[in-house]
Amino acid sequence: MPPKRPSKPPAQGKTPGRSSAIGQKGINVVPNQLLDIYVVGTNCYGELGLGSLTKKSELSRPVLNSKLDVISTGIVYIAVGGVHSAALTHDNRILTWGVNDEGALGRDTKQEDNDDTQDGGNSSDEESDDDEVNLNLKEATPLPVDSSFFPSGTVFTQLAASDSATFALTTEGLVYGWGTFRGDKGGIGFSPKCREEQRTPILIPGIKDIISIVAGAQHILALASNGSVFGWGCDEQNQLGRRRVTRHNTNSHHLIPELCALPTGIRTIGVGMYHSFAIHKNGTVYGWGSNNFGQTGTSSTAGLSDAIVAYPDKIPGLQEHGTITSVFGGKDHSIALTETGKCLVWGRIDNKALGISHEEMSESDVIYDVYNKPRILKEPYLLPEFGEDDPVDFATASSDHSFAITRSGKAYSWGFNSQSQAGQPGIDEIEKPTLVQSKYVDGKRLVSAAAGGQFSILVGVSTHSRKKKTSKQ
């Protein structure tokens, strides 16, 4: 039987390529580097976007997705949610695939009674021996969101995907979205006017001049050009970091974008599954939200059940390693990169998501549980595998597994791998950063990755070219 459609952390660090403002108006530029897309992990519900190319429920090594090749699609940006993904093409189309139970694909995927759900194709000899699955090909195949939902002339620059929603940023700094948000007790809706699923794209009101968007499991952050940060969605773990101006805050109120309790001058934002980060232009890093494993970077409440950091708090211990350029997290752990390519980790120890063994940690930096087992790394630690000869240019985290891409274009993974989501065949847990290998990615220049709940996507610079054309919505 296929697994239950899982929940997942955000996929961080979505992948823009080179950008060009030629022929564009507005505050954001359109990525134009054509990308090769490699997929790995579970495919029980079409999460890998291979359509009818495979009948397997799992791929153990990364495979080139020919449904997203340069000639037919020309992908320039990709975002991954819990069990769905979205991609931006060179000609301004948004393609979506994966689970559409709550409208995250932004298009109709209902099958007719006579629909063929699966053919006998085969994508790769890298596949596992898992049982075959039947797929809804309207979900499993990357297909475009109807452009008629957007005003004529709308041009997209970035995408973000949560567990059950998708968002798109335009050159003009506007944000469109579709899907829904969920809390511990079920659905809380998409907006105060839509208390269930928003199954087609709609403009997010109340925000403008947005230059970056990131998605947690059930919340969104948006960075404005003036350095202020807006948040909306679920706030049950205080992941929105908003000032509570009333004693009667409701889920409906949280669905409206409002300012996070941060100083102006923020230059970078990041998220974990239920926690959030921001980097100020002066180098200060802030964290807030769920903190039971110290994942926000604040150790004072780490180890306590349902611990939270209610408002953005400065993270000690990071700046001594140099200028932090990005910070993000999985469910219970977090990762930061420095401008020199150092990779720092902290948070939960026992799920192997940190990429470092307990023996390499100082006793004073570890919190032990009641059974005297190492539970939490409360201080940021450098991953020793990545040195000056091949520094890390990109990293991302899922709930319990992580990826790092080095300057030479190699991908390393570590953490939970029971369904090959880390791309390492035959190993359930990977303690140390390990080179990801397959005949498809070996020798390729990889530039980023995106991690879903039980699947992952690696992104490489395409070696092919095509005559580009401009197509506006």
Q: What pairs with residue 449 in β-bridges?
A: 458
Q: pLDDT tens, 247-305?
A: 555 668 899 999 999 999 999 999 999 999 999 999 999 999 999 999 999 998 999 98
Q: β-strands 165-170, 308-314: how paired? A: unpaired
Q: Does 472 have pLDDT greater than 50?
A: no
Say what the pLDDT of residue 1 is: 40
Q: How far apart are CA 78 and CA 98, in angstroms?
A: 13
Domains located in the chain, CATH noted: 19-461 (2.130.10.30)
Higher confidence at residue 235 or residue 20? 235
Q: What is the mean pLDDT of the chain?
A: 90
Q: pLDDT tens, 303-331?
A: 998 999 999 999 988 989 999 999 999 99
Q: How far apart are CA 18 and CA 121, in angstroms?
A: 34
Token pair recorded at residue 81: 């949610």
Q: pLDDT tens, 332-378?
A: 999 999 999 999 999 999 999 999 999 999 999 999 999 999 999 99
Token pair recorded at residue 262: 């941060």
Cβ–Cβ contacts within 10 Å for residue 189, how many? 18
Token pair recorded at residue 357: 């063994």
Side-chain-side CA neighbours of 388 within 13 Å: the count stands at: 0
Token pair recorded at residue 308: 């939270």
Residue position matching structure tokens 């709609």:
202
Confidence of residue 19 (pLDDT cuts 50, 70, 90): very low
Q: Does 166 have pLDDT greater than 60?
A: yes
Per-residue CA distances from 243 to 112, 206, 247, 288 (Å): 48, 17, 11, 12
Higher confidence at residue 144 or residue 116? 144
Q: How far apart are CA 285 and CA 290, in angstroms?
A: 16
Q: pLDDT tens, 386-414?
A: 988 999 999 999 999 999 999 999 999 99
pTM: 0.91
> Mean pLDDT across the stretch 165-178?
98
Q: Does 204 have pLDDT greater than 50?
A: yes
Q: Does 53 have pLDDT greater than 60?
A: yes
> Mean pLDDT across the stretch 81-85?
97
